[in-house]
Structure 1
């Protein structure tokens, strides 16, 4: 079997890929060696800016199959009938660390799904926790700065991490999640995924519902203790990537069952919690889980850079029947995600194979820009409206309109009857077994005891006391004991 011919980028055959062209044997290199210059120049440009958050990730292709009739709640075509399948790509990730970080660390995990639907791509960008640290996007850059490497020391600093949380009481719920038993998943296959935000569903009759997504792993939830995680990182820093890759290659296709919580829109104003607050959950007793379908991953990417690193998700990619809510964090992400990808990948990143629609056709007046690949006929116009045969608007909104009232300004979120920053964190603590509580307290104390300022420690201890008196007392005692050693 003859080998394929090695060529330059322009397609010319390469005569010698082992030796550069020189001015005589042993002489200096020649500037005319096009193959050498092209090879070095390309090598210098192989890396793109990594994601500011969710930099370290893994991904796989699969499908989603509807198992239950939910047409009474949404008119989304890919959810329109039992048995319907939609191709998808799912990217998992850690949040705070860089591309070179380890997998088995205590950190939330990204759970981002791109559904290639017949009405366009639908991106559901969530995490493996149902809540988050902040409820307003204006605090997000500061939060991430506090979790990233310190500008002076070049390390993640406990002082910065806990100081931000101490000044953000709304983070208490998510901190309790993160420091608990599920803070370090054993693998991507063994964790749940959540849409986290509240989204809008609307049906064919124009009825509006608020929805939360829950992807429950069918492999069972498995997590690592701090000691097990340290051992895992030492053995294989790429442990989650290795596990996902090998499982799919062996035919052990991981799956998740999608459930939703559904709230009629009219109930939102009177609900005891602000239903659009990302630091809160809706208790299942109020809004039980309703099964929707099954997500399966069955194919690994052929090229991690092209398909995992260049995968671009935006919460603003909706389809008819699904839309946003007044959730402030979601509203901020509607802009921030797509803007980040335009910076990292260019304005035409949606034309890359992993991001391009598959069951639909992208047809608009976007033209030119870096790496433009979409071509039309010579008679296509690049403006609208026009008198030619270009694409035209449908006049049919994707989502139902939201009523807006009141004065503009930098308002705090409206308070509902149970809207404090500690109640749900206390509820989560009281749901835990004694062993789970002990591990939670040990995990918090291990990090908090390293903080250098007593006032920061006192400030955040007050949050745990407010969540549950026992919770606060045990953390305070554990921190004191560690600092006295």
Structure 2
């Protein structure tokens, strides 16, 4: 093949990527839906699939039944080993588009710099600890992995919903996972850190303390994948066309803001709907409430590498935004659900070393280990190195190499040549120079002794944990303490509980004393737990001792960064026969206009008749739903409806529970009686017959003569605030 022919092929493959091109490529792997006849794998139409071929209707099965053998063989082999971690996941397709070309100064990665290009993406969200059959709402880190199908090849940003990690060196990863997984003797508990082995490990690993604070926070129980931020965790490099490199941290910020469940709610959802987060993502995409995330970067010049009081290569640290502000660079929209969960969500294979020109690694020892681990685990799952040829993993960019054979090989390589260099194939495939898109690793000088050690600059394990605690609002601090009460309350070993209190005392004595009250052990005096790492002093460590630092950062607090919106919030309308139809219609229309979705909840499914004869269909019955599945509740007026609700224990519990979980509650006229019956006390209610609308701590009430428009306006404001934590101390509500 001559150079001109190769150049033509190169030009052909360098197409402008749009969000439809990946869809078109995936379609060629799918069966033709127009042919309605069932066939075997060989395309032979099947005339009967209910019964196997036998010698007589009651005789033995005949092995010549090729259709039965093929069908059973597929069934017997249709599962693959689940991921060691991140086994339970949910995914969606979409696109990423840069805002402008300003990042050209920092990187030659085209998908980050061309505002006219929509790069197709597939995102997989996941829990970390649990098996595929565990619940969505457990207290856990959440994976946030994005595959960009760029014209330069696939790029994977494999992150979490928390910016730090538990450990600094990948050599401890197997120990971490072994400790947090179910105990090997009895396989208990599932998908939970609340047991002795994990806290034994954590209490002996001071480097994990910053991440422990995040896991105990509300970040570990997200309300929705749509309301969850993402972080690249590691420090990477950006390289521009001139070959200049900078350090970079990647951040995803949800356009709906980051919001959480409350712990009681999370536990109940695990039983009522173990697929809560999966279902929420799927339904949002189907309804057109497309999840949106803004991609931002923190960029640090190479010469500023040692100007902080922490090491940029330490994955247990974050860069406070007060020191390096976020730079928004583009938006991702998820607008299409998978068509086949196994083929797409389950078979997608990520690797943090899948880079494109303009992005490269650093010497982060956790990242370096992951570069090996991810490939190795995919080989275990797929039993083949050809997993990249599966439709969900295949790049849009044209592939041309000398790989061949092996399980699941899809590509049919032509010709005699599968080696390089060669003359028989015209020297093809040729090497691409850097100016033709060839990937060139950043040239970094590396010089050092072979040693099992870490830099002394990695040896500060408490300052950022303290930073996190100091940055929380009072409600957030209380939630961390309650989470510690639950987690450590499950630990049988008093010694382990006491060690953890020792670590907490180094983070904050206030924290340690508050946790101590709930777990039955005293805060140890003069606590000193040596780190298990082998740390070596060096020049970087000396420089960092004088580096930039902050004592508090507002950006790690969910409450301080709350985005107030009613968009995609779910509102339950509690009613029975005899409700006020005009009021329901006005409120429901107003909620939907504000972007919320409103569902009718009654004792039974079926049609509910209003006081004036109109009918509305019940969306959910009390036995199939609960307040935990909604962001707010609304109880319309209507004498007969209210009388019926007052006699329903489920309806009263619905109100109790929503109030306890600090959710907005709206009602009018006779509906106030239901709040009184539910013992939602200590809130100032309007007179049932007045024209007043009163909003107090997220409870919005209106008299029978009040304007519906004023009521809905106040109710939507309450919904936009999401939770009303100033109600949280009211713990006497029976729910």
Q: TM-score, normalised by structure 1?
A: 0.95
CA-CA distance at 1:118 after TM superposition: 0.8
Distance 2:508 2:267 in 1: 30
Aligned counterpart, 2:157: 124
Aligned counterpart, 2:420: 384
Distance 2:471 2:134 in 1: 32
Correspondences of 1:166-205 after superposition (within 5 Å): 166-205=203-242
Change (3 A) 1:414 1:404: farther
Residues 130-173 of structure 1, C-alpha deviation per residue, up to 9 Å, x if partnerless? 01111111110111111111111111261011111111111111
Distance 1:3 1:138 in 2: 53
What SS does the corresponding residue of 1:472 show, helix, strand or coil?
A: helix
Correspondences of 1:390-409 after superposition (within 5 Å): 390-396=428-434, 397-409=439-451
CA-CA distance at 1:348 after TM superposition: 0.5
User: Is 2:388 the counterpart of 1:350?
Assistant: yes
Q: Which of 231, 234, 243 matches 2:271?
A: 234
CA-CA distance at 1:394 after TM superposition: 2.4
CA-CA distance at 1:3 after TM superposition: 6.9
What SS does the corresponding residue of 1:124 show, helix, strand or coil?
A: strand
Residues 306-355 of structure 1, C-alpha deviation per residue, up to 9 Å, x if partnerless? 00000001011100110101111111111111221122122111011110
Correspondences of 1:365-380 after superposition (within 5 Å): 365-377=402-414, 379-380=415-416
Aligned counterpart, 2:121: 88
User: Is 2:503 the counterpart of 1:463?
Assistant: yes
CA-CA distance at 1:380 after TM superposition: 4.6
Distance 1:450 1:226 in 2: 15
Contact in 1 for aligned 2:167/2:173 (Cα 8 Å): yes
User: Is 2:322 the counterpart of 1:285?
Assistant: yes
Q: Which of 253, 277, 282 matches 1:245?
A: 282
Contact in 1 for aligned 2:498/2:521 (Cα 8 Å): no
Aligned counterpart, 1:15: 47
Q: Which of 402, 415, 425 matches 2:457?
A: 415
Q: Which of 192, 195, 207 matches 1:158?
A: 195
Residues 227-258 of structure 1, C-alpha deviation per residue, up to 9 Å, x if partnerless? 01012222211111111111111111110011
User: Is 2:178 the counterpart of 1:140?
Assistant: no
Contact in 1 for aligned 2:248/2:299 (Cα 8 Å): yes
Contact in 2 for aligned 1:200/1:399 (Cα 8 Å): no
Contact in 1 for aligned 2:310/2:317 (Cα 8 Å): yes
User: Is 2:248 the counterpart of 1:215?
Assistant: no
Q: Which of 10, 33, 44 matches 2:76?
A: 44
CA-CA distance at 1:395 after TM superposition: 4.3
Distance 2:446 2:34 in 1: 69
Distance 1:153 1:269 in 2: 47
Structure 1 alignment gaps of length 5 or more: none
Mean Cα deviation higher: 106-115 or 384-393: 384-393
CA-CA distance at 1:481 after TM superposition: 7.7
User: Is 2:378 the counterpart of 1:336?
Assistant: no
Change (3 A) 1:13 1:82: closer
Residues 406-460 of structure 1, C-alpha deviation per residue, up to 9 Å, x if partnerless? 21110123416xx510110011101111221111011112111221222212222
Distance 1:2 1:191 in 2: 39
What SS does the corresponding residue of 2:321 show, helix, strand or coil?
A: coil
CA-CA distance at 1:268 after TM superposition: 1.1
Q: Which fold has the larger relative contact order, with Cα–Cα distance below 8 Å and residues 6 or more apart in sequence?
A: 1
Distance 1:283 1:243 in 2: 31
Contact in 2 for aligned 1:132/1:279 (Cα 8 Å): yes
Residues 44-69 of structure 1, C-alpha deviation per residue, up to 9 Å, x if partnerless? 10100000000000111111110141
Mean Cα deviation higher: 364-373 or 456-465: 456-465
Distance 1:74 1:351 in 2: 28
What SS does the corresponding residue of 1:70 show, helix, strand or coil?
A: helix
Mean Cα deviation higher: 125-134 or 434-443: 434-443
Change (3 A) 1:368 1:478: same
Distance 1:152 1:21 in 2: 45
CA RMSD across the alignment: 1.7
Distance 2:34 2:372 in 1: 51
CA-CA distance at 1:219 after TM superposition: 1.3
Q: TM-score, normalised by structure 2?
A: 0.64
Correspondences of 1:21-60 after superposition (within 5 Å): 21-60=53-92
What SS does the corresponding residue of 1:243 show, helix, strand or coil?
A: helix
Distance 1:395 1:269 in 2: 33
User: Is 2:518 the counterpart of 1:478?
Assistant: yes
Change (3 A) 1:5 1:75: same
CA-CA distance at 1:271 after TM superposition: 2.7
CA-CA distance at 1:204 after TM superposition: 1.4
